[in-house]
Amino acid sequence: MRLLAVAGLALLCLLSLTLGVTGTGLFDIWRGENAGLFWESRLPRTLAAVLSGGGLAVSGHIMQHLARNRFVEPMTAGAGQSAALGLLLCTAVLPGAAIGWKMVAAAVAAMAGSLGLMALIRPLPPTQPLLVPLVALVYGGMIGAVVTFFAYQGDMMQFLGTWMTGEFSGVLRGRYELLWLVGITSALAYGLADQLTLLSLGRPTALALGLNVRRVTGLALVTVSAVTAMVVVTVGAIPFVGLVVPNLTARLTGDNLRRSLPLTALGGGILVLGADILSRWLRAPYEVPVATTVSVIGAVVFLFMINQRPARG
């Protein structure tokens, strides 16, 4: 399955590198024609889509294990909205702040938002699993309303639209490199795979097995917050990736994160890059925001999954 995913991602990368308004193909670029276009725009855009998709899928998978619920993901459960709030406040207080400081502000706000969600869902009864995504959606909506209010008061609605709608049209060399940290952070999260698998069994069981629950939970929340913040700062919010992809990979590989996380990262890259290619093709030479395309695809796939009856043994 991993080899098939790698092959699919490689084909999408080649297609992305050949797709553009100018119609210049890879053969022309290899011959030296429009080589600057390749290095300045097409390659950075392709890498940005893969890194964003893989990071969001991995962070969504981690959050689902923390919440012990398959129906939550960072971008719709408060982390994405909180990252936008941190960006908004940083921009309002320090308009000339460097991108690094904005990322730190977004990450801290995303961490606070994720901690708030965990505090809200902890007392919910495990016999009512649908209460968790319901609370998460309401919680994220409330934070989003606060963000919109402050943006309107500060005449920053245009900036807010940029952060809350993910798209890759502005990705160029020198303006996407922060996403390499997303890939590095997601790779480091693989070291927590076994501990998170134990944590998903429940706090009492994890403690009985000798797991340091507080430390693992803290590291996992830092990972989710950092990845969410870096994606929002660089390309904007892209929903459904952290919801749909982990559910699909869990059906194929089970709940063992050591087996499923690599496939989750590949699946996230495939979804976002495929959606970006479709967004460029639908109304060429214009573009549809990739967040819109991913939302439509993700909603259809998710509705199919929740309505699919399990096979009888």
To 5 degrees, how large is the angle CA 125–CA 129–CA 135? 85
Judged by average pLDDT, the poorest of 14-28, 45-59, 276-290 is 14-28
With cut-offs at 50, 70 and 90, classify the pLDDT of residue 51: very high
Alpha carbon distances (Å) from 142 to 91, 102, 104 = 21, 22, 22
With cut-offs at 50, 70 and 90, classify the pLDDT of residue 313: very low
pLDDT at residue 308 above 80?
no
Q: Which two tokens stand for residue 92?
A: 């309002």
With cut-offs at 50, 70 and 90, classify the pLDDT of residue 273: very high
pLDDT at residue 297 above 60?
yes
Residue 29: per-residue pLDDT: 56
Angle at which helices 79-93 and 213-234 pack, to 10 degrees?
60
pLDDT at residue 210 above 80?
no
Q: What is the mean pLDDT of residues 262-269?
A: 89
pLDDT at residue 71 above 60?
yes
Q: Which two tokens stand for residue 275?
A: 């959606």
CATH number for the domain formed by residue range(s) 2-306: 1.10.3470.10
User: How crowded is residue 313: how many other Cβ atoms within 10 Å of its Cβ?
Assistant: 3
Q: Which two tokens stand for residue 58?
A: 């991995």
Q: What is the mean pLDDT of residues 299-305?
A: 81
Residue 168: per-residue pLDDT: 84
Please tell me whether residue 2 adopts helix, strand or coil conformation: helix
With cut-offs at 50, 70 and 90, classify the pLDDT of residue 31: low
Burial of 110 (0-12, 13-18, 19+ CB in 10 A): buried
User: How crowded is residue 62: how many other Cβ atoms within 10 Å of its Cβ?
Assistant: 28
Greater model confidence, 47 or 65: 47
pLDDT digits (tens, 9 = 90+) for 214-259: 888 888 888 888 888 888 888 888 888 888 888 888 888 877 778 8
Domain chopping of the chain, boundaries: 2-306
Residue 167: per-residue pLDDT: 82
- 179 Cβ contact list (under 8 Å, min separation 6): 47, 48, 51, 52, 55, 230, 231, 234, 235
Residue 23: per-residue pLDDT: 52
Average of per-residue pLDDT values in the chain: 81
First vs last Cα of the chain: how many Å apart?
A: 23
